[in-house]
Homo-oligomer: A and B are copies of this chain.
Amino acid sequence: MSTPIRIGLIGTGRVGQVHARSVAAIDDAELTWVCDPFVEGARALAARHGGRVTADAGDVFAADDVDAVIIASPTPTHVALIAAALDAGVPALCEKPIDLDIDKVDTLRARAAASTVPFALGFNRRFDPHFAALHRRVVEGDIGRLEQLAITSRDPAPQAKEYVESSGGIFRDMTIHDLDMARFFVPDIVEVTARGANQFDAAARELRDYDAVQLILRGAGDELITITNSRHSAYGYDQRLEAFGDRGLLQVGNVGPDVVRGYFERSVEAAGPYHSFFVERYVDAYRLELVEFLKAVRGETSTSPGFEDGRAALVLANAGQEAARTGASVRVDLSA
């Protein structure tokens, strides 16, 4: 067995716990530090998966038994923690978004670009086996030139009002994943068109946010990409993708825990239910994201998506919000 990579985990909320389970499932990685200001959470997680406990992230960066960190703490802490990782020269895998404020993101941009230490941004859906397989086939030319992309993404139920108050709204907390998925296929997005609606969620209306949005993105090669979002879905977590090219179409539908189909008086060929939310749906994606990150830590590959991808998704989310408010398409230049 090769020497395990020693990991410090910062943040022990829902996503931090997912990462901890991924570390446990990977042979050549081990948890050595668990950090959370809510120290009880850190203790509970360490009791299950190992590691020393601290409330202070500084301890993690100072430790001599940490080869890499996973940043899964609340968004407002990300910029400072990324800065600390860059300062300490510690490889980091950071949950999205970098920040909700593009100006704050840009304070790190030059340093991140100059750094040679692996930095990965947690757009885990790129590592989902299904989306990754579809992407691979597109890259290999199965459908010829990519012309249209359709991304459908619906959460099972609206987030709590408190969450949305601090999340930056649907474009920045939800659509942002789909914007990165769009860029997985068409990195250079040049135009964003968007419409939003208030269909069912009183809290969203109060916050002047939307509960459903539709976007049209244009790529530099005149590709057209649609994103369909809703804050609710009666049939579980809806995560689908269609890539259309001049030689064919590839499609990823939804996934559930088993492939049993039922045939009854009123309905036939019925599957499901699907996975209920991202923790179940993307368990493999989180694990494979970490596997790829560990390869980069070992120097075998470079990380992707990285800092610029995190920034680009935020720029597009901001453009989406503006387009939805004004009704006019917004031009963007991601390289500026």
In the complex, identify which listed stretch (A35-43, A88-96, A245-253) lies at the interface while the others stay far away: A245-253
State A329–B274 Cα separation when bound (angstroms).
Answer: 36
Question: Do A267 and B270 have beta carbons less than 8 Å apart?
Answer: yes
Is A208 an interface position by the 8 A CB rule? no
**Complex interface residues of chain A between 36 and 89 (CB less than 8 A to chain B):** 47-50
Q: How far is the CB of A153 from chain B (nearest CB, A)?
A: 12
Which residue from chain B places its CB closest to the CB of A272 in the assembled complex?
B268
Q: A50 to chain B: which residues have CB within 8 Å?
A: 1
Q: How large is the interface on A (under 10, 10 to 19, 20 to 34, 35 or more residues)?
A: 35 or more
Contacts of A336 in B (CB 8 A): none
Contact A265 B224 (CB under 8 A): no
A-B contact pairs, 15 of them (CB 8 A): A1-B47, A1-B50, A148-B230, A193-B327, A195-B329, A199-B246, A230-B244, A235-B248, A235-B268, A249-B262, A251-B263, A255-B259, A266-B272, A267-B270, A268-B273
The 9 closest A-B pairs by CB, nearest first: A268-B272, A270-B270, A267-B270, A327-B329, A235-B263, A249-B263, A133-B258, A248-B264, A197-B222
List chain A positions with a Cβ less than 8 A from chain B.
Answer: 1, 24-25, 27, 47-50, 129-130, 133-134, 137, 142-145, 147-148, 150, 152, 154, 191, 193, 195, 197-200, 212-214, 216, 218, 222-224, 226, 228, 230, 232-236, 238, 244-274, 327-329
